[in-house]
C-alpha cells in the first residue's frame, strides 16, 4: 500500500484515495448490506419507510472560491446542502455518495480536511458514506453529493400542499449567508465579530434536519421547501407547486443582530432585496394550517424549533406574491433569486 505514515498520502491516485476513504470514513450500519468497495452499495430500506434521494453539486468558481472557503468548511457544506433537501421533506438522512473531481496536484492535506468536514457533518445527522466516484479534473474542484434519507410514506412533506389561509413560517434568520458572501467578496479585512458570524453562516450553513423531522413527525406542515436560492424564489416555487399565492409582511421576517447591523448601511429596499434573494440560507420555509399553529407555537416556546410566522397563503389572484412593509407599501423585486445561466 503506498501509504506514507498512517494517515497521510504523499502521492496518490484514484484507487489510493478510495482505499484511504474506506479505511477512514466508512461505517457499519444494520441496514447497510454493502458499503464502499464493490460496484454498488446495497442498502435495505427500513420497514414501512420510503427512500428520499437528492443530489447537489458545488463547483469551484461558481459556488465557492478555494481562497475563501477553508476545505473543512467546504466539506461540511457539500454535505449540508444535500442534508437540507432531505430535511425539507421531513426525512431522516441515512446514506451519502460522494463524487469529487479533484485537480491533479491538489494537496492531500486539503483533501483530508475536506473529507473530515464532510464526514463530521454527515455523522452529526446519523448519515453514513457508502460510495461514490473519484475523478481527476483539469483545473477546478467540483463535488457532487447524493444523499438518501428515509421517512414513513404518509409523513412526507411536499411543496404542493399549501392552501389559502395557511400561515407561512421560516426557521432561523434568513439573509445571513448572503450578507456573509458579500463580505467575503468585498475583500474587507480584518473582520469584526459581527462580520465573522455572517461569513460563517455562508461557509458553514446548518441543515435543519432535526426541525424538518419534527415538523413532519407532528404533521404540522401542509407544504415545505428549503431555502437554497433565496426566500423569494423558493417561496415562488412553493406557491406555484401548490397553485396558490402568498402575502409576506417584511417586518415579521426575523433578522439576526449582525444582519440588522449590516442592513443599517444598505438602504431599506436594497437591504431587503438582498435578504430575500441572496440564497444559501438552508432554512426551512413551510406552511401551517391555522388550526395547527398552537401546536407549532408550543414547540417554538419550548425551544425545540426556532421559527417565525412571516405571512399567509392567499388564493393566488394577482399579484401572486407580495412582500410589504407595515405601512402597506410593497417591495418591488425584479430578480427573485439565484438561477444558474446555462
Ligand atoms: Mg431544496
pLDDT digits (tens, 9 = 90+) for 261-296: 998 888 999 999 999 999 999 999 999 999 999 999
Q: How far is the CA of 318 from the centre of ligand 1 (A)?
A: 26
Q: Which residues pair with 323 in a beta bridge?
A: 248
Strands (E), 106-141: 128-132, 135-137
Q: How confident is the model at residue 3 (pLDDT cuts 50, 70, 90)?
A: very low
Cα(106) to centroid of ligand 1, in Å? 30
- How far, in Å, from the CA of 31 to the mean position of ligand 1? 26
Q: In this predicted model, what pLDDT tens digit does every residue of 148-197 receive, in sequence order? A: 999 999 999 999 999 999 999 999 999 999 999 999 999 888 989 999 99
Mean pLDDT of the chain: 93
- How far, in Å, from the CA of 339 to the mean position of ligand 1? 13
How far apart are the CA of 243 and the centre of ligand 1, in A? 18
Please report the pLDDT score of residue 319 as a whole number: 72
Among 118, 116, 111, 181, smallest CA distance to 141 is for: 111
> Per residue in 288-318, pLDDT tens?
999 999 999 999 999 999 999 999 999 998 7
Cα 68 to middle of ligand 1, angstroms? 25
User: Do 142 and 66 touch, CB atoms closer than 8 A?
Assistant: no
Amino acid at each position: 500500500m503506498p501509504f506514507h505514515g498512517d494517515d497521510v498520502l504523499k502521492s496518490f491516485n484514484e484507487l489510493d484515495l478510495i482505499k484511504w476513504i474506506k479505511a477512514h470514513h466508512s461505517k457499519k450500519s444494520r441496514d447497510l448490506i454493502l458499503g464502499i468497495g464493490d460496484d454498488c452499495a446495497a442498502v435495505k430500506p427500513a420497514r414501512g419507510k420510503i427512500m428520499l434521494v437528492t443530489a447537489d453539486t458545488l463547483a469551484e468558481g461558481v459556488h465557492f472560491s478555494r481562497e475563501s472557503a477553508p476545505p473543512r468548511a467546504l466539506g461540511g457544506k457539500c454535505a449540508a446542502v444535500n442534508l437540507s433537501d432531505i430535511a425539507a421533506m421531513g426525512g431522516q438522512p441515512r446514506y451519502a455518495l460522494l463524487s469529487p473531481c479533484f485537480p491533479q496536484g491538489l494537496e492531500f492535506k486539503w483533501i483530508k480536511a475536506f473529507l473530515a468536514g464532510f464526514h463530521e457533518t454527515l455523522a452529526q445527522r446519523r448519515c453514513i458514506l457508502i460510495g461514490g466516484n473519484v475523478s481527476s479534473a483539469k483545473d477546478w474542484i467540483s463535488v457532487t453529493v447524493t444523499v438518501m434519507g428515509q421517512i414513513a410514506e404518509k409523513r412526507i412533506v411536499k411543496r404542493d400542499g399549501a392552501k389559502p389561509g395557511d400561515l407561512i413560517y421560516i426557521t432561523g434568520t434568513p439573509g445571513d449567508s448572503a450578507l456573509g458572501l458579500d463580505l467575503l467578496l468585498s475583500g474587507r479585512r480584518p473582520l469584526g465579530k459581527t462580520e465573522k458570524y455572517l461569513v460563517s453562516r455562508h461557509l458553514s450553513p446548518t441543515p435543519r434536519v432535526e426541525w424538518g423531522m419534527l415538523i413532519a413527525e407532528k404533521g404540522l406542515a401542509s407544504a415545505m421547501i428549503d431555502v437554497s436560492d433565496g426566500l423569494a424564489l423558493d417561496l415562488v416555487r412553493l406557491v406555484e407547486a401548490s397553485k396558490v399565492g402568498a402575502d409576506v409582511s417584511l417586518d415579521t421576517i426575523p433578522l439576526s443582530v449582525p444582519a440588522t447591523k449590516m442592513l443599517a448601511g444598505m438602504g431599506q429596499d436594497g437591504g431587503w432585496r438582498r435578504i430575500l434573494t441572496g440564497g444559501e440560507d438552508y432554512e426551512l420555509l413551510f406552511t401551517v394550517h391555522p388550526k395547527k399553529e398552537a401546536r407549532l407555537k408550543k414547540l417554538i416556546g419550548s425551544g425545540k424549533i426556532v421559527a417565525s410566522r412571516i405571512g399567509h397563503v392567499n388564493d393566488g389572484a394577482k399579484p401572486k406574491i407580495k412582500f410589504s412593509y407595515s405601512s402597506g407599501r410593497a417591495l418591488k423585486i425584479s430578480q427573485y433569486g439565484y438561477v444558474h445561466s446555462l
